[in-house]
Structure 1
Amino acid sequence: MKRRFLLVVSLILFLTTFLLYEMNRGKSSENKQQVVNVFTARHYQIDNEVFREFTKRTGIQVNEVKGTAEELVERIQREGKASSADLFLAVDGGVLNFAKQSGVLQPMTSETLLRNVPAEWRDPDNYWAGIATRSRVIVYAKDRVDPDELSTYEDLTSEQWKGRVLIRSASSLYNQSLLASFIELSGEVEAEKWAEGIVRNLSREPEGGDRAQAMAIAAKIGDVAIMNTYYIGQMSASLDPEEREIAEKLGVFFPNQQTTGAHMNISGIGLAKYSPNKDHALKLAEFLTSREGQTLLTQGSYEFPVNDEADMPEMLKNWGNFKQQPVDIASLGHFHKQATEIFERVGWK
């Protein structure tokens, strides 16, 4: 009897331990699945708000790992199948194509995502998709420049604009892609002539980001600047009254409307090759490109949405439709090396 009793007790203890182990393992597995890891080279506050809204709706926690695009791609490559990366988020079509060519992404098969994002803002093999677009335009001082004086990027190299042009440095990815688009459209010789002309007409050596160029216009250091559209939107809605005041004094001009169109670029996402939370990653990608996600994103970032159903800020609506460069966004990266060499040759610091 005693032996039988001990056997029964042992069996009960074993079954209890086994059941507790399985329950804990199930909970651990469940918790592990309720997460998506975003390796992001974007550093915008609105992204965090969009991620929080996604978590609120789905219960899936979004973890961000930040760095430069090159650092993040190298890390995903190095870690291989052990990588925790689910989504890669970056700015510039060339950078997204670099991630694809580096073998760190896999095709996104979500039909919802493909419906949300037009083909012009997607990789042809669906390795990445845009979540927002921006145009690199001419921003001018309303009190010193008549918009009728403005026409093209090329015209900024004319004598009229000598000592009046502001733009950031040659190391800027935005400027590298802008020059890359000129190389694709007009060839390297014409692109170099343009870069040389801009250097000749600068009001100061390049310094600071796009926001700094806007402030330099307000300080009358220069009269026109080449900037991304969303900076003007963000400054107009800034909590800083000085930035809002500066934004009110600036006009936005979309160049080359009678020729090659205004330069465009994107922010986009790609699904990591060994994503451990693939289903959740695709859910986040779908939300980011949905009407609701796009509206929330563009209302905060002042980028243009890729989903036409999104509701844009009034400022963007007021800019209206404009002609865009007929350039393959993904191809921009192919010309970055040439663009960098041109900048160096013409003395664009």
Structure 2
Amino acid sequence: MLKSTLTTLALAIALPVTADEVNVYSYRQPELIAPLFDAYTAETGVQINVKFLKKGLVEKLVAEGDRSPADLVMTVDISRLNSVVEAGVTQTVNSDVLSENIPAEFRDVGKNWFGLTSRARVIYASKDRVADGEVTTYEDLADAKWKGRICTRSGTNAYNLALISAVIAHHSEDYAQEWVGGVKENLARKPQGNDRAQVKAIWAGECDISIGNTYYMKKMLSDEEQKEWADSVRIIFPKFENGGTHVNLSGMALTKAAPNKEAAIKLMEWLSSETAQEIYAEQNGEYPLIPGSTASELVASWGTLTPDTLALSDIAKLRPTSLKLVEKAGFDE
């Protein structure tokens, strides 16, 4: 069923644009968003044509200019959402529905991008080698007691840069530089791999804790080989000493060209609805943003998430500074 749906979506890209269509450029994997679009088409009759891209989304929109067939952009990570806006290929959306559904900290103050779901940047900890309460804050990760016990992916990874940006925002650039250096000193190995690779390293006894996104737990539990890795760890929701747990986003933006603007905005509003949010959350293991919406039973079983309230648009602006701190510390060397 899913395979045939994706084929239909792919073929639809070449079809002429009509008032009953919305065209989407997406970095999100096909299987993650197809259930949403299937539900919307079944409810409204509007066809969603999706072009899935692995890279070059911003460059493509810039090159196409006013001739772009794309109405919406869907992607992950606050820095990617911000880069689309900075490239000048989006437009503002004045929608009472979006403003009411999506909390202010999860949407652009200029109304160019809007969050859809959140994922927490958490700690995966060995069930056997890390005691309850041994790590409770992000600040703890720079403590010398973790020397030789931490695994992580590259410091220049977008998710890690967003976390470092949050450290800067909560403390200062000088503090963050010391924190990055402290975490580097505590690494058990050179940064490498993705978030799931860090959990595998914990399972293999190479380290005791790692930093990762919550939704990877769902992915690992769904994989026959990786389930054993997942079962070796538990999720800890660290907080900042003066805040909550750092979260990042999946989100959307209306393109500047948007040939189907009115239909695209209606889709955006539907995607922010409780129905769509819960489909997204159940399918992807992410957190819905609408107050009152519930996470899936699996996600809820991991524990209580208290999201940090820093505006993600402010965090995105600190990305260049975060990258500078990572390079200065030689974090990946």
CA contact (8 A) 2:104 2:311 kept: no
Could you report, residue by residue, the CA deviation over 1:10-30 in whole angstroms, capped at 9, with x for unpaired residues? xxxxxxxxxxxxxxxxxxx99
The yes-or-no answer on 1:56 pairing with 2:31 is no
- Distance in 2 (CA, whole Å) between partners of 1:324 and 1:309 is 14
Alpha-carbon distance between aligned partners in 2 of 1:41 and 1:206, rounded to the nearest angstrom = 24
Q: Residue 319 and residue 84 in structure 1: after superposition, are their counterparts in 2 closer, same or farther (change >3 A)? A: same
Q: Give the direction of change, closer, same or farther, for the CA distance of 1:337–1:120 in structure 2 (3 Å limit).
A: closer
User: SS in structure 2 opposite 1:214?
Assistant: helix
| Aligned partner of residue 183 in structure 1, secondary structure | helix
CA distance in 1, matches of 2:145, 2:30: 37
Deviations 1:27-75 (A, max 9, x none): xx99622221111122262212212222222222222223357x22222
Matches within 5 A, 1:75-114: 75-114=60-99
- The residue type paired with residue 238 of structure 2 is P
One-letter code aligned to 2:264: A
Query: What runs of 5+ residues in structure 1 fail to find an aligned partner?
Result: 1-28
Q: Where does structure 2 lack aligned partners over 5 or more consecutive residues?
A: 1-14
Aligned partner of residue 207 in structure 2, secondary structure: coil
Determine helix, strand or coil for the equivalent of 2:225: helix
Q: Which of structure 1's runs of 4+ aligned residues deviate more than 4 A?
A: none
Query: Matched residues in 1 for 2:58 and 2:241: separation?
Result: 39
Alignment equivalent of 1:288, drawn from 254, 268, 271: 271
Give identity over the alignment, percent: 36
The match for 1:274 is 257
The alignment's C-alpha RMSD in Å is: 2.1
1:131 aligns with 2:112: no
Aligned-pair CA distance for 1:99: 2.0
- After TM superposition, list the pairs within 5 Å mapping 1:147-296 onto structure 2: 147-236=132-221, 238=222, 240-256=223-239, 258-296=241-279
Which deviates the most, 240-249 or 300-309?
Answer: 240-249
Partner of residue 322, structure 2: 339
1:181-217 residue CA offsets vs partner (Å, 9 max, x unmatched)? 1112211111111111111111111111111111111
Q: 40-49 vs 182-191, which deviates more?
A: 40-49
Provide the rounded CA distance (Å) in 2 between the counterparts of 1:30 and 1:72.
Answer: 21
Q: Which has the larger radius of gyration?
A: 1
1-side partners of 2:292 and 2:141: how far apart? 36
Q: Deviations over 1:302-327 (max 9, x none)?
A: 11101234332123323454443342
Task: Find the aligned partners of 1:291 and 1:280 in 2 and give their Cα distance.
Answer: 19
Determine helix, strand or coil for the equivalent of 1:105. Answer: coil
Supply the AA of the counterpart residue of 2:49: N
SS of the residue aligned with 2:301? helix
Greater helix proportion: 1
Deviations 1:318-338 (A, max 9, x none): 345444334220122222112
Shift of residue 235 of structure 1? 2.0
Deviations 1:208-262 (CA, angstroms, capped at 9, x unpaired): 11111111111111110011111113323x1x22222322221111113653322
Q: Is the 8 A contact 2:144 2:182 kept in 1?
A: no
Q: 1:345 to 1:134 in 2, by over 3 A?
A: same
Query: In 2, Cα distance between the equivalents of 1:141 and 1:166?
Result: 12
**AA in 2 matched with 1:278:** K
Q: CA deviation at 1:114?
A: 2.6
CA contact (8 A) 2:77 2:250 kept: yes
Determine if contact 2:123/2:235 at 8 Å carries over to the other structure: yes
TM-score, normalised on structure 2? 0.89
Q: Distance in 2 between matches of 1:80 and 1:159?
A: 51
Q: Which amino acid aligns with 1:50?
A: L
**What is the DSSP-based 3-state SS (H/G/I as helix, E as strand, rest coil) of the residue aligned with 1:106?**
coil
The secondary structure found in structure 2 opposite 1:145 is coil
Which whole-Å CA distance do the structure 1 matches of 2:78 and 2:17 have between them? 34
Structure-2 residue corresponding to 1:40 = 26
Q: 1:305 & 1:233 partners in 2: Cα distance?
A: 15
Q: Distance in 2 between matches of 1:338 and 1:109?
A: 31
Using the size of structure 1 for normalisation, the TM-score is: 0.85
